């Protein structure tokens, strides 16, 4: 390549590169630096070496929050993917304006801000007058303050999250399903394959790339769970919903420990990178089989 | 001729107006007073602005607790805080440790005419860290026992003086709750069982009645104190377990249980006095109410207490000018001198001339519970204590589930102790 071409390339990529370096790389380096200091929330701190990392390793509440984050991921990622696919298969069989309306209904929660979602569900699940309490009472015998209960809190936060965000997955799956040519199904039908066989041998393999994408997006998104927990339970009761970002918030904003909060953030960052790369590799190898 | 005169007058008036506006010092004010007392504060602010044409207070009310203190801390750190703010004295050591508060020097206080001798020594010193003054006290507030006279009377728990009787001592108190329940009272005692801060106020009062220090020499609930804390927490949990106090009740719902006449007794801060006073005045309460000091369940009277105070944020890179500070301290002094009106919000004025006045001594129901000031126990003076502090968070996280029968009291106390001790070391 001659120099002129190089210069042109630089000219075109330059603005992006500058923005990327300033907005992403620089703060990341700063974050790493911060994790080696005892800085408060705002302002610089003294260099303390690996002290924050040693503390991280011995921090019981931090491990509890890692456990809770995984628990939440388990409760949301695969269920929301399956529900998204199932709904997409159903919506896909509808047609015309009716399909649009059904699709809009399922997508509606996704465009609501989190605060509105939380208010709706706090009202629905209120112990004294919530309209969902008769259903809960049917199984438990008495109304349950779900967000104040150690065992109910996290599954309920997961349930609300799925209700809130499932519309987006549904949309991705619909797009994937529409990409599968009708010819395959016609050919399979000629060969005598029923609906179930068509689903297992045609739909599932062909929708796999979208499924892998949804799973990965969901994994990254749900590892970063915060808003719903902050608004509903603040990590309680008895640490039952303390997730990693909530713990970072506590360290930074409530305890004024910016350095240690940076360390926990980095741990979360590392966790997301490792898990999402691993998951994507596993899913890709399955897809190529 | 007449036209000219009018014009000249108008010009003069306009000039005077603009000059007045130029000399006016604005004071940006943040508070967290959103309860029944917030209405009283708005009236005070209006009165100040009317009486002091050269100072204009621009007031904003923010959400009490963690939101308020997080905002104050971050905004002061980048120089965007207000000129003056309300601040809980319980949180003062924590606020000073994060560099959020500006010292108010003795000279500055003297110039504004603010004198330590107008406050009780303990109250005044609670506004200091390492001998430096960071705030000026405004009131002392506590929790009291609100009671429904009609319901207590039916169960024979009301004396001829209109005050509750037979509530002192754990056994008597529990027997009273049992009697009320047996007499068909739906809720013998209403507390905010879903709120950690409210449970702390009750718990700390009961610890104080047993002389158990929550924090001593850097140790949280040391030695045998841990067991006493567990026993106290068990007592609080038993009210819920025995059906005397409904579980998981949020703050507003707890008040509603009392105002609707379903609850015979209600433990809440004095700041809700205006709520009941105003309801009764408008004839919407439907029963006779009163408020007394928290009954003595253990050895001797003691009630948790805290103070609202005024503080100046340490706005980094935007030091407050001497003129502005003078205006701020003028506001502080004026507020204290007018704090008799603030007492109608339920609080006890920190300013002694107001507290010792004849008018305050006859003000009801304040006069009935004012004795609590003599036996008040304040939050431990520590960076883990105060509103929106690690202690408050731990209360929400561990004690609320314990009170509601979700967590073993032993485990709750131990978890809280371990977490707080870890923060001290």
Over residues B313-352, the pLDDT tens digits come to 999 888 899 999 999 999 999 999 999 999 998 999 999 9
In the prediction, which pLDDT does B34 show?
84
Q: What residues in B contact A56, CB-CB < 8 Å?
A: none
Which residue in A148, A250, A254 is closest to B248 by CB distance?
A148
Interface check for B421 against chain A (CB to CB < 8 A): the answer is no
Q: How far apart are CA B361 and CA B305, in angstroms?
A: 20
CA geometry: angle at B227 spanning B372 and B379, to 5°? 35
Q: How far apart are CA B341 and CA B138, in angstroms?
A: 12
Which residue in A43, A238, A253 is closest to B401 by CB distance?
A238
In the prediction, which pLDDT does B55 show?
94
Average pLDDT of chain B, as a whole number: 91
Which carries the bigger pLDDT value, residue A6 or residue B297?
B297
pLDDT digits (tens, 9 = 90+) for A150-193: 999 999 999 999 999 999 999 999 999 999 989 999 999 899 88
Cβ atoms within 10 Å of B398's Cβ, excluding its own = 26
Interface check for A255 against chain B (CB to CB < 8 A): the answer is yes
Which carries the bigger pLDDT value, residue B34 or residue A77?
A77
Q: What's the mean pLDDT in B364-378?
A: 89
CA geometry: angle at A194 spanning A188 and A199, to 5°? 75
In the prediction, which pLDDT does B1 show?
46
Strands B25-31 and B84-88: parallel
Residue B5 has pLDDT above 80, yes or no: no
In the prediction, which pLDDT does A54 show?
95
Which residue in this structure is represented by tokens 């917030």?
B38
Q: How far apart are CA B258 and CA B272, in angstroms?
A: 12
Contact across the interface for A148 and B398, Cβ inside 8 Å: no
Q: What's the mean pLDDT in B345-370?
A: 91
In the prediction, which pLDDT does A42 show?
82
Q: A128 to chain B nearest CA, in Å? A: 9
Interface check for B424 against chain A (CB to CB < 8 A): the answer is no
Which residue in B73, B248, B397 is closest to A238 by CB distance?
B397
In terms of C-beta density within 10 A (0-12 exposed, 13-18 middle, 19 or more buried), how is residue B259 classed?
Answer: buried
Residue A287 has pLDDT above 60, yes or no: no
Contact across the interface for B415 and A40, Cβ inside 8 Å: no
Which carries the bigger pLDDT value, residue A63 or residue B17?
A63
**Predicted structure pTM score:** 0.85
In the prediction, which pLDDT does A62 show?
93
B265 neighbors B188 (Cβ within 8 angstroms): yes
Residue B39 has pLDDT above 90, yes or no: no
Q: How far apart are CA A121 and CA A131, in angstroms?
A: 10
Least confident segment among A278-287, B4-13, B232-241, B408-417: B4-13
Share of chain A above pLDDT 90, in %: 69
Interface check for A95 against chain B (CB to CB < 8 A): the answer is no
Q: How confident is the model at residue B287 (pLDDT cuts 50, 70, 90)?
A: very high
In the prediction, which pLDDT does B302 show?
94
Q: Which residues of A243-274 are buried (b: 16+ CB within 10 A; e: fewer)?
A: bbbbbbbbbbbbbbbbbbbbbbbbbbeeebee
Q: How confident is the model at residue B192 (pLDDT cuts 50, 70, 90)?
A: very high
Q: How far apart are CA B381 and CA B129, in angstroms?
A: 9
In the prediction, which pLDDT does A74 show?
96
Q: How far apart are CA A214 and CA A280, in angstroms?
A: 11
| ipTM score assigned to the predicted complex | 0.80
pLDDT digits (tens, 9 = 90+) for A67-115: 999 999 999 999 999 999 999 999 998 988 999 999 999 999 999 999 9
Q: How far apart are CA A288 and CA B146, in angstroms?
A: 71
Q: A242 to chain B nearest CA, in Å? A: 10
Least confident segment among A160-174, A272-286, B102-116: A272-286
Q: B402 to chain A nearest CA, in Å? A: 9
């Amino acid at each position: 390549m001659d120099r002129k071409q190089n210069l042109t390339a630089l000219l075109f990529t330059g603005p992006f590169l500058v923005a990327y370096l300033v907005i992403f790389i620089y703060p990341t380096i700063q974050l790493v630096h911060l994790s080696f200091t005892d800085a408060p929330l705002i302002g610089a701190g003294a260099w303390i070496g690996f002290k924050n990392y040693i503390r991280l390793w011995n921090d019981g509440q931090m491990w509890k929050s890692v456990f809770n984050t995984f628990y939440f991921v388990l409760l949301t990622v695969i269920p929301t993917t399956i529900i998204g696919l199932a709904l997409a298969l159903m919506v896909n069989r509808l047609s015309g304006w009716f399909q649009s309306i059904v699709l809009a209904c399922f997508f509606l929660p996704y465009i609501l801000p989190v605060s509105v979602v939380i208010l709706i569900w706090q009202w629905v699940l209120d112990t004294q007058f919530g309209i969902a309490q008769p259903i809960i009472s049917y199984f438990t015998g008495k109304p349950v303050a779900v967000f104040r209960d150690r065992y109910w809190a996290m599954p309920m936060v997961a349930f609300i999250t799925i209700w809130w965000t499932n519309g987006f997955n549904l949309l991705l799956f619909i797009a994937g399903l529409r990409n599968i040519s009708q010819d395959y199904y016609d050919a399979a039908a000629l060969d005598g394959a029923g609906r179930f066989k068509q689903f297992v041998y045609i739909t599932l393999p062909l929708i796999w790339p979208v499924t892998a994408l949804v799973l990965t997006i969901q994994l990254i998104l749900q590892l970063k769970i915060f808003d719903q927990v902050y608004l509903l339970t603040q990590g309680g009761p008895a640490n039952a919903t303390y997730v990693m970002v909530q713990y970072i918030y506590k360290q930074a904003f409530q305890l004024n420990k910016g350095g240690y909060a940076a360390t926990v953030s980095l741990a979360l960052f590392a966790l997301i990178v490792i898990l999402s790369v691993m998951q994507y590799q596993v899913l890709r190898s399955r897809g190529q089989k | 001729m007449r036209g000219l005169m009018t014009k000249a007058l108008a010009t003069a008036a306009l000039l005077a107006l603009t000059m007045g506006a130029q000399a006016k010092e604005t004071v940006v004010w943040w508070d967290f007073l959103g309860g029944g007392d917030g209405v009283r504060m708005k009236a005070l602010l209006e009165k100040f602005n009317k009486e002091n044409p050269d100072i204009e207070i621009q007031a904003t009310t923010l959400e009490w607790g963690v939101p308020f203190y997080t905002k104050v801390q971050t905004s002061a750190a980048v120089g965007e805080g207000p000129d003056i703010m309300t601040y809980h004295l319980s949180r003062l050591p924590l606020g000073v440790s994060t560099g959020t508060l500006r010292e108010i020097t003795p000279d500055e206080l003297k110039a504004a005419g603010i004198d330590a001798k107008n406050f009780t020594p303990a109250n005044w010193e609670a506004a200091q860290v390492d001998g430096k003054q960071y705030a000026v006290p405004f009131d002392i507030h506590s929790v009291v026992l609100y009671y429904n006279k009609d319901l207590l009377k039916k169960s024979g728990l009301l004396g001829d003086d209109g005050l509750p009787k037979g509530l002192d001592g754990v056994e008597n108190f529990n027997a009273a709750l049992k009697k009320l329940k047996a007499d068909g009272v739906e809720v013998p005692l209403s507390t905010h069982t879903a709120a950690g801060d409210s449970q702390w106020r009750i718990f700390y009062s009961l610890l104080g009645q047993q002389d158990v220090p929550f924090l001593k020499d850097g140790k949280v609930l040391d030695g045998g104190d841990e067991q006493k804390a567990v026993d106290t927490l068990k007592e609080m949990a038993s009210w819920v377990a025995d059906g005397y106090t409904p579980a998981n009740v949020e703050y507003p719902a707890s008040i509603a249980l009392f105002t609707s006449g379903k609850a015979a007794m209600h433990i809440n801060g004095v700041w809700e006095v205006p709520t009941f006073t105003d309801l009764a005045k408008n004839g919407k309460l439907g029963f006779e109410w009163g408020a007394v000091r928290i009954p003595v369940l253990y050895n001797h009277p003691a009630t948790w207490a805290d103070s609202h105070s005024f503080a100046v944020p340490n706005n980094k890179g935007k030091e407050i000018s001497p003129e502005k500070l003078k205006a701020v301290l003028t506001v502080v002094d004026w507020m204290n001198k007018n704090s008799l009106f603030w007492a109608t919000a339920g609080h006890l004025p920190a300013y002694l001339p107001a507290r010792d006045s004849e008018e305050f001594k006859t003000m009801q129901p304040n006069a009935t519970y004012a004795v609590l000031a003599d036996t008040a126990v304040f939050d431990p003076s520590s960076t883990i204590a105060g509103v929106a502090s690690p202690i408050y968070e731990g209360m929400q996280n561990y004690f609320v589930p314990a009170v509601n029968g979700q967590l073993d009291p032993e485990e709750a106390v131990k978890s809280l102790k371990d977490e707080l001790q870890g923060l001290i070391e």
